[in-house]
Structure 1
C-alpha cells in the first residue's frame, strides 16, 4: 500500500476534532440556582449523563468520514492490485548495431524473463528481435527523454543502453525515475576526420578543441582522411526575391570567407553547366542534388533530405535574431561543417558528466487506481448518509 500524495496524511490528525467535540458535549453541567425552578416538574429538569450508544456510533462514523477523506486526497494505491507487467524492468535501447551487439546476452536474457525491450524512437511497440535496427535509426537526447516519459513506471526499474558520446550533453539534463540503471559503451573506432582544401594550400578542419580552424598543415595529433572532402573554390548560388535578404546573406558569406580563407565563387543567377556546392535561396528546389547543400529561408517545412535545411524566417535584421545579433556567418559555417562532416561527435563523457546529466525526478502525472478510488468514494458517500441520518433522527 502506498500514497501518491503522502504529505496529505497529516490531515488524519483532524480525526481528533469529533472526539474532542463529543466529550466536550458530554461534560457535566454546573447547576445554577434559579428562582422559578420550583414551578418546573422534577422529571423534566433531570438530564441524562454518560455515553449513549447511538452517540458512540455517530462518533465512529464521523471519525471514519475524516479518515476516508484523507485517503481519497492522499490517493491511495494498493501495490498488490498492480499487474506483474507494471513492476517488470523496462529496457530502452539506442538504435545502434554496436550497442545491441555488445549487450545482446543481457537483453536476450531479459526478454526470456518476460521483460519488455524498446528502441529509443517514435515506435511504441516492444522489440521482437535485436538483429534488425529500425528503418530510420535516428537518435537524439530529446528522443531519449520522450522514450523515458512514454514508457516509465515509477514502480518499474528502467534500464538505459546508450553510446557514450558528447552528443548526449546537448540538453541540460535527462530526467529519469528513481529506479534506473545506465549501461553505456564507448565507440573505440576512431574515424578519420574530414577536411577541406581551400585557396593558397590552406586546409580547413575542426581542431582538437572543437573549433573550426585554417592552417597550412593538419593537426598531427589527429587522424584525418587521406583526401580532402572538397578541393578548390566552393561554387555558391545566392538567389533571393528580396534584395535586402540577398545582400545580407552575401555579406555573411564574405565575412565567413575572410575569416577562414574560403574560396567562394558566388553566382546570383543559376547556370545549368555549373554544379553548385552551396545554394542559399528562398525557393524550394523540387529536384535537389545530393552533393549540394541547400539552405531555404522563409520556409518551415520538414525535409526528408539531410542536405536540405529549411529556416522558418527570412535572413533580415527585422525577422531573424541571428542576423540582428551578427551571428549569421557563424550559423552558416556550422551548416557547412555539418554538410561535409568536419566535426567529430564521438568524444565520450566522463563518469562525473554522465552522473550530473541524468537527474532523478518523480512524475506527478500518475493516476490513482480507478477501483480503489471508486470504492473510497462510495464508502465516503455511504458514511456521510449514515452520519446525517443518525444525527438528524437522534438530534445529536
Structure 2
C-alpha cells in the first residue's frame, strides 16, 4: 500500500514507549496495608522475581493507538482498488513564437496523433491553428510555468515540455516535474531570429549586438532578424487615469520615448468603441481586459494572474513614485514594451546542463485521497482512545 508521507511511518517505533512504561510500572511494588503481615512466614514473604504481563489488553490497545496514529499521518492510498489510467503524452509549450516555430514539426505530429498539446499559461490553452495572442512574448515566468505543470494531470502520463533557456529560470532553485518527463529546449536563444519594430520614416527599432535599444534606418547586417516586423506603424495607446497629474506624467514619459527612439503613438484618453488598443495604461483594469492588449495598472493591490497585465503599486506621480521622481519611468515603460514584443534578448542563456539539472522529477504519488479509508481509520482511532481511557480508569492502570 503506498503512502503520501511514508517517512512518517517511522513514528510507529514509538510503540516501544507503552511497553517500557508497562514493565516499569509492574516492577515497582505497591504497598498494601495488612495487619496480619507479622503472622506470615518468612519464606512466604519472598519477593517474586521477573516481569509479569498484567493488563495485557490495555497494553495492546495503547500500542495499536500509536501504530494507527503513524499510519494516519502517513496518509495511505488505495491505488490498487482503482484501475490505472491509460498512459498518454502531454505536450506543454512555452507561449513563445520562437519556441513554437522551432518545434513546429514535433507539435504538428503530436496533433495528428490526437495527443494533448497546450500552451503553458494560466488557462492551459489548446494549441491549434488559431494564432496565440501572446506568441510574441518570449519571456518565461518560472512560477507560472510551475503552476501550469502542477495543473496538468501528468502523474500517469508522459509530459513533454518545450521551453527556451532564458535567464529567468535561474531565479528559482528548482522546478518539480512528473516522473515521466522529457525536456525540449532551444539550443541557444541568441541564435534565434531577433524581433524588431517598423517605425515611421522606414526606421527600425531593435536590440543591437551590444544589447542596447537602437533606432536606425537599416537593421544590423551582422545579426539575424525575423523576416517581418512584429509591429508596424503607430502604436495605439489608451491612457486613462482618474488622477489628472498621473495622466500627464505617463503621457510625458511616452513623449520622451517618441523623441529618443522615434516611436509613434496614437493616444486616446477615453476608450473608443470597436477600437483595439496595443497598449493600455490605467489605474483601473476593465472587468474583461482584451487578451491582445498589454495593460499596465498602477496603484492597484488586487492582482490577477494574466500574462498580458503588469501591475505597479505606485501612483505614477513625482510625489508618490520614486520611479517617476528619479526620471526612470520612460525607461521602465520602454522595458515593458520591449518584453511584450519580444525584442528583449537574453545575453547569457542558461546552458543545457544547467537547464536539465533545474528540473527535478517528483516520485511522490498523486495526492488523491480515499476519504472513506481516512474516515474509517480516524473512527477506529477515536474508538480505541475511548476504550483505552475506559480500561485505564476501570483498572486504575
Name the TM-score class by shorter chain: 0.5 to 0.7
Give the 3-state SS of the residue equivalent to 1:299 in structure 2. coil
> Could you tell me the TM-score, scaled by structure 2's length?
0.67
Q: Quote the offset at 1:212 in angstroms.
A: 0.6
Deviations 1:167-193, CA, capped at 9 Å, x for gaps: 974964673235242331549996574
**Does structure 2 conserve the Cα–Cα contact (< 8 Å) formed by 1:165 and 1:347?**
no
Size of the alignment, in residue pairs?
367
Residue of structure 1 equivalent to 2:292: 306
**Matching of residues 41-80 of structure 1 within 5 Å:** 55-80=55-80
d(CA) in 1 for partners of 2:225, 2:101 = 24
d(CA) in 1 for partners of 2:269, 2:353 = 45
Residue of structure 1 equivalent to 2:181: 181
**Matching of residues 168-207 of structure 1 within 5 Å:** 169=169, 172=172, 175-177=175-177, 179-184=179-184, 186=186, 191=193, 193-196=195-198, 204-207=205-208
**Matching of residues 93-104 of structure 1 within 5 Å:** 93-94=92-93, 96=100, 99=103, 101-102=105-106
Closer, same or farther: CA 157–167 of 1 in aligned 2, 3 Å: farther
Q: Quote the offset at 1:161 in angstroms.
A: 2.9
Selected match of 1:285 from 242, 256, 272 = 272
Structural RMSD (CA): 5.2
**Does structure 2 conserve the Cα–Cα contact (< 8 Å) formed by 1:176 and 1:358?**
yes
d(CA) in 2 for partners of 1:165, 1:367 = 33
Closer, same or farther: CA 237–8 of 1 in aligned 2, 3 Å: closer
Residue of structure 2 equivalent to 1:268: none
Residue of structure 1 equivalent to 2:317: 316
2:217 is aligned with 1:223: no
Give the 3-state SS of the residue equivalent to 1:3 in structure 2. coil
**Matching of residues 240-389 of structure 1 within 5 Å:** 244-245=245-246, 247-249=248-250, 251-253=252-254, 255-257=256-258, 259-260=260-261, 262=262, 277-280=264-267, 282-288=269-275, 293-301=278-286, 303-304=289-290, 306-307=292-293, 309-313=295-299, 315-320=316-321, 322-334=323-335, 337=338, 350-355=351-356, 357-358=358-359, 366=367, 368-389=369-390
Closer, same or farther: CA 107–380 of 1 in aligned 2, 3 Å: farther
Closer, same or farther: CA 164–237 of 1 in aligned 2, 3 Å: closer
Residue of structure 2 equivalent to 1:20: 20
**Does structure 2 conserve the Cα–Cα contact (< 8 Å) formed by 1:91 and 1:158?**
yes
Give the 3-state SS of the residue equivalent to 1:182 in structure 2. strand
Give the 3-state SS of the residue equivalent to 1:60 in structure 2. helix
**Does structure 2 conserve the Cα–Cα contact (< 8 Å) formed by 1:4 and 1:77?**
yes
**Does structure 1 conserve the Cα–Cα contact (< 8 Å) formed by 2:240 and 2:247?**
yes
d(CA) in 2 for partners of 1:372, 1:161 = 36
> Could you tell me the TM-score, scaled by structure 1's length?
0.67
Closer, same or farther: CA 55–369 of 1 in aligned 2, 3 Å: same
Closer, same or farther: CA 143–38 of 1 in aligned 2, 3 Å: closer
Give the 3-state SS of the residue equivalent to 1:84 in structure 2. coil
Worse overlay, 356-365 or 13-22: 356-365
* Structure 1: gaps spanning 5 or more residues: 265-276
**Does structure 2 conserve the Cα–Cα contact (< 8 Å) formed by 1:197 and 1:230?**
yes
d(CA) in 2 for partners of 1:172, 1:64 = 44
Q: Quote the offset at 1:73 in angstroms.
A: 2.2
d(CA) in 1 for partners of 2:269, 2:171 = 31
